[in-house]
Amino acid sequence: HTVQRGRMLCAPCIWPGFGGPRALGTVGILTLVLCSCSGQPESLPWLLPDSSSWEHQGGLVFIHMESSLYSLPCSPIEMEVADPTYHWVQDRADTKLFSVTKEGHLLFQHFQAHDSGKYSCTLSYMKHGIPVSHTFHYNVFGYHVLGGLDTVLLFYSKLCEDEWTKRFVWVLQEKLRQLEIEQHCKLQLTATVCFPSLSNPSDEFIIQVQLEVSLFGPHWDEHCNSQDMEMAIDCYHRTVRHNLVQVQLALTRFFKEHKSFHVTGAGTPSINFTNEFVGFLKTKECSGGYGQTKQLQGCLDCCIACPPGTFSSPKDSQCSPCPAGTYSLIYGMASCTPCKDGMITRTPGASSMTDCVEKERTKQVVSITHRIPVLILLILPALLATNLLFILSSCYWFCQEYRVSPPRASMMTESTTWMEIVTSFFRMPRQGPQAVPDAEPCSEISPLDTNASQGSDEEYTQETPPLAMSPDLAAVTDETNRVLTLKDRKENF
């Protein structure tokens, strides 16, 4: 990538040095030809790099579990530089010592799921007295092709005690150790059960042993050393199928040769465990800490190491997020690590110990979240009551404005009944704003005059139109009322 970039930038870097295309002389043309042929911009002393460091994304790298040897180069392409130095780092805090070749290749031996992660390699060298560095980043994932073997073994014995059963299992594992080395596989005893036999329940017992066979033992891929991804995956598939048949034949032959196992104890005679049955079941399940994804396009039936924050139990084909209260730090976890006492994670899928928080803080957040609907229910009635009072007050003030400013004379007939009701309810005064200033005070009128005036008012109210009239008409009505009152007083005298 870097060499190609230098070839593309070789010609443009020369143009400015000679004043443009028109000023390009014979020396410039020869230099351009030499630069294009060699492809080495370093031959030009004035071609200094624009930047002294570059960052490159190397992409995804998949390494099969228990690979005998995998070599990861520092640069995805060959870079011919003088006296380079290589520095590999990993994103994890507890990184182990790396095995790096003199060419800068990182070596993985017996690759495990927890070796997955983000790796970076920095290539440093000197260019015309200026230090230059290139950093390449890789995402490394462990994987394995599907293929395994489950074996069920039945042994007869005279005893069914835990102590003798544990001794028998230990002897059986020691006998199978040589078979593991020869067949490049791993044998793991997963379960042991003891129960009385049907033929003689009192004196005879059956020991059932479940044996799990992994085909990825030491040097299982000694015939697959290709660095090409597609060729390596194809070789792995063929190797797994071949080893599966060979391991099954080897186990069958082994238990035919070893029909009885003698177990001795301190001060007691030996007890025989006689083999009576051997059964095989071919499986296509992911190992613990691995799950099937479409991340590896060249092998859709392969199992990829579960990333931090997820886990996969044995014989489970999917990576699941860690439940609340647990976390996983590294790749390929078969189970998640629980938080310390009194701490919990707020969400599933935690990938760090710092995601664990105290339960009280979590409860406070949850309680506030649950209280929000209650607060809304308490505030909503108050808002509705305030809006209702605002509407009623607006109606009241509207009626007040309606009384002060009567409608036009053309609408008097239609609103007569409504104004009578409003007038009687609010006791609206009949004197308008244009009252006569020289009216006599009410204190000079005797009680008899007051009654007479009231009677006169009642008659006037019945015979005259309602108060919904113009201000001028209201003033005339008031003047007529005063004339009648003065006339009544003269008659009394």
Q: Encode pLDDT of 101-115 as tens digits.
A: 989 999 998 899 999
| Whether the predicted pLDDT of 349 surpasses 90 | yes
Nearest to 149 by CA among 318, 315, 293: 315
pLDDT for 428-457, tens place per residue?
454 444 444 444 443 443 443 444 344 444
How would you class 122 by CB atoms within 10 Å of its CB: exposed for 0-12, middle for 13-18, buried for 19 or more?
Answer: middle
**What pLDDT does 199 receive?**
82
| Whether the predicted pLDDT of 310 surpasses 90 | yes
**What pLDDT does 95 receive?**
61
Once rounded to an integer, what is the mean pLDDT over residues 53-67? 89
- Sort strands 356-358 and 343-345 into parallel, antiparallel or unpaired: antiparallel
DSSP H or E segment with residue 344 = strand 343-345
| Whether the predicted pLDDT of 266 surpasses 90 | no
Beta strands per DSSP E along 215-296: 260-265, 268-283, 290-292
**What pLDDT does 458 receive?**
41
Write the DSSP string, 152-207.
EEEEEES---HHHHHHHHHHHHHHHHHHHHHHT-EEEEEEEEEEE-SS-TTT-EEE
pLDDT for 478-491, tens place per residue?
444 444 444 444 44
Structure tokens, 42: 């370093």
CA distance 78 to 76: 7
Q: What is the 3-class SS of 28-70, one letter each residue?
A: HHHHHHHHHHHCCHHHCCCCCCCCCEEEEEEEEEEEECCCCCE
CA distance 351 to 94: 15
Average pLDDT, the chain: 74
CA distance 70 to 82: 26
pTM of the model: 0.61
Neighbours of 391 (CB within 10 A): 10
pLDDT for 369-378, tens place per residue?
555 666 677 7
Strand partners, 338: 326
CA distances from 230 to 215, 234, 364 (A): 20, 6, 54
pLDDT for 174-225, tens place per residue?
999 999 999 999 999 888 999 998 888 878 899 999 999 999 998 899 888 7
| Whether the predicted pLDDT of 336 surpasses 90 | yes
**What pLDDT does 419 receive?**
58
